[in-house]
Amino acid sequence: MFSEVELLRDVAVLAENLDRNGLVSRRYIVTRLLEDLLKEKANKDLGYFLAVTSLKSIGNRETLDESGNVFFPVVFKCRTFMPFRGEVLEGVVHHIYRFGAFLQCGPVKYAFLSFRKMPNYRYVSGENPAFVNDELAKIENNVVVRFLVLGVRWIEKRGEIMKRDFVMLASLEVIVTVTLSGERPPSPVNRSSSSAAESSLYLVNLRSERKTFVTWYAILLELASEFSYKMFLKIQLSWNVVIPAESLESNGLMLQRSMILRLLDDFASKKASKDLGYYLAVTTLDNIGEGKVRQNTGDVLFPVRFSGITFKIFRGEIIEGIVHKVLKHGVFLRCGPIENIYLSNMKMPDYRYVPGEDPEFLNDKLSKIKKDVVIRTIVLGTKWLEAEREFQALVSLEGDYLGPVFS
């Protein structure tokens, strides 16, 4: 997590800041060095630059550009922070939503803790949403959580928002929420009562960063697909887009807009494919080839290459679905774009059917499976229906931590 490294950097000094003897103070060079490190922020191999701990040497100046600016080679030691997969860290929750929580760990602002990686916790909505377990321990905003790092990704630049940052995937499996002192409390500690958390961790107000949210959530989806989060897939496709002749009279910008709109229409109309799953979104238009005119209509066909996100469930995957139909022999769930997910009464241990105006399945602990209830299940199998261009799935409650999320 923390490292002490020795680095060599050339520090630029403007010629106008040199005295009449061509010298500059040591303090000024150190100030410029700190400014350069602050601007650089982080390095893929070293992590985030936290502090310069010692200055070993300042070499002789060298004039390297036409403006007369001079560069001083500086050798120094620097403390860095870099997260690693498999490491145990602590972070402050700064945003809760249905599918997980986002934490900040020191300079790393974007650590995603999926609901799938919180054993025994269930989501509770409201003005202050939280994840709560059977012992009434809460994961909510401002709570300090100890977690296991499942994966780390370096972001060199992502649009105008993210630059030179790391993002992480987190898990609570075999990990418990703790105070920063390392003691195990009956519930997570609130940050407002922890001076240690106040001094070492930072809270980000995500509600004022909606544009940022979209950017780093997309990045975390990409990262998740590399660490057994198979439900969302990042894809790259090559399609042909046909632009009507009347749209060709516009300028280049309008032509590109027409091309993007047509691509989105085609993307939506195809709905899904057997290999890729349901088409959710086009993320980037990567390349537009040379157009070819169709002789009969005058329309122009453009080969395009683009990236997108799809949704597909797999056998053995744990998913959550909302009950939308209750029958005597089982229930149908909806999970994202998939409407026909069937949970048979044979795969609901200890549950019995209770008929009535609002039929339900009930067990001895009074846990209910009825319409609009969210259920965590395991996928037994999937089937692709070519004619309808959609998937069907069979699921089960036989397994640990499966069943209604809201009882």
pLDDT digits (tens, 9 = 90+) for 387-403: 889 999 999 998 777 88
Helix or strand (DSSP H, E) at 228? none
More confident: 339 or 25: 339
Q: Characterize the bridge pairing of strands 144-158 and 108-114.
A: unpaired
The pLDDT of residue 342 is 96
Alpha-carbon distance 305 to 319, whole Å? 31
pLDDT at 208: 37
Tokens of 186: 């009956």
Among 144-158, 205-219, 354-368, 381-395, the minimum mean pLDDT is found in 205-219
**Residue among 24, 28, 2 at smallest CA distance from 15:** 24
Mean pLDDT over residues 189-201, rounded?
34
Rounded-to-integer distance, Cα 380 and Cα 369, Å: 19
**229, pLDDT greater than 50:** no
Kindly tell me the number of DSSP H helices and DSSP E strands found in the chain: 4, 27
pLDDT for 20 equals 57
The two three-digit tokens of residue 393, written as one number: 């799935």
What would the pLDDT profile of 313-341 be if each residue is shown by its tens digit? 888 888 889 999 999 999 999 998 899 99
Give the residue, 405 or 190, on which the prediction is more confident. 405
Work out the burial of residue 152: count CB atoms within 10 Å of its CB; fewer than 13 is exposed, 13-18 middle, 19 or more buried.
Answer: buried
Mean pLDDT of 202-227: 44
Indicate whether 26 pLDDT > 80: no
Question: What confidence score (pLDDT) does residue 200 get?
Answer: 30
Residue 285 CA to its chain's centroid (Å): 21
pLDDT at 328: 92
Interval 102-113 mean pLDDT:
90
pLDDT value of position 22: 58
Look at residue 184 and tell me whether its pLDDT is greater than 60: no
pLDDT at 199: 28
pLDDT tens digit string along 82-96?
Answer: 888 888 889 999 888
Q: What whole-number percentage of the chain has pLDDT above 90?
A: 21
Tokens 């209750």 locate to 326
DSSP letter string over 151-186? EEEEEEEETTTEEEEEEEEEE-TT-----TT----S
Decide: helix, strand or coil at residue 222. Answer: helix
The whole-model pTM stands at: 0.46
pLDDT of residue 17: 61
Which tokens belong to 55?
Answer: 């200055």
Instruction: Give the other-Cβ count within 10 Å of 59's Cβ.
Output: 13
Q: With a cut of 70, say whether residue 133 has pLDDT above it.
A: yes
* pLDDT value, residue 226: 43
List, for residues 250-303, the tens digit of each pLDDT value: 555 566 777 778 888 888 888 899 988 998 888 888 888 888 888 777 788 889
Q: Calculate the CA 277 to chain-centre distance.
A: 20
CA nearest neighbour of 307 among 206, 245, 225:
225
pLDDT surpasses 80 at 14: no
Distances (CA, A) of 139 to 60, 114, 118, 172, 407: 55, 12, 10, 11, 19
Higher model confidence: residue 188 or residue 151? 151
**Which of 98-112, 177-191, 377-391 shows the lowest per-residue confidence on average (mean pLDDT)?**
177-191
Cβ-contact 403, 374 below 8 angstroms: no
Supply angle C-alpha 143, 124, 174, rounded to 5: 55
Angle at 119 between CA 278 and CA 212, to 5 degrees: 55
Range of 214-218, 303-307, 325-329 with top mean pLDDT: 325-329
pLDDT of residue 301: 86
Rounded average pLDDT over 185-209: 34
Rounded CA separation 185/277 (Å): 43
Buried/exposed code over 107-144 (b: 16+ C-beta within 10 A; e: otherwise): bbbbbbbbbbbbeebbbeeeeebbbbbeeebbbbbbbb
**Average pLDDT across the chain, whole number:** 78
Nearest one of 105, 149, 113 to 131, comparing CA atoms? 113
97 within 8 A of 91, measured Cβ to Cβ? no
Residue 264, helix vs strand vs coil: helix
Any residues with CB less than 8 A from the CB of 274 and at least 6 apart, and which? 384, 386
Q: What is the mean pLDDT of residues 97-115?
A: 87
Report the distance separating Cα 189 and Cα 195, nearest Å: 11
Return the exposure string of 296-321: e unless at least 16 CB atoms fall within 10 Å of the residue's CB, then b: eeebbebebebebbbbbbeeebbbbb
Angle at 404 between CA 398 and CA 405, to 5 degrees: 125
Residue 10 tokens read as: 């050339």
The neighbour count for residue 2, using CB atoms within 10 Å, is: 10
In sequence order, the β-bridge partners of residue 105 are 108
Other residues' Cβ atoms within 10 Å of the Cβ of residue 9: 17
Polymer length of the chain: 407
Q: Collapsing DSSP states into helix, strand and coil, what is residue 129? A: coil
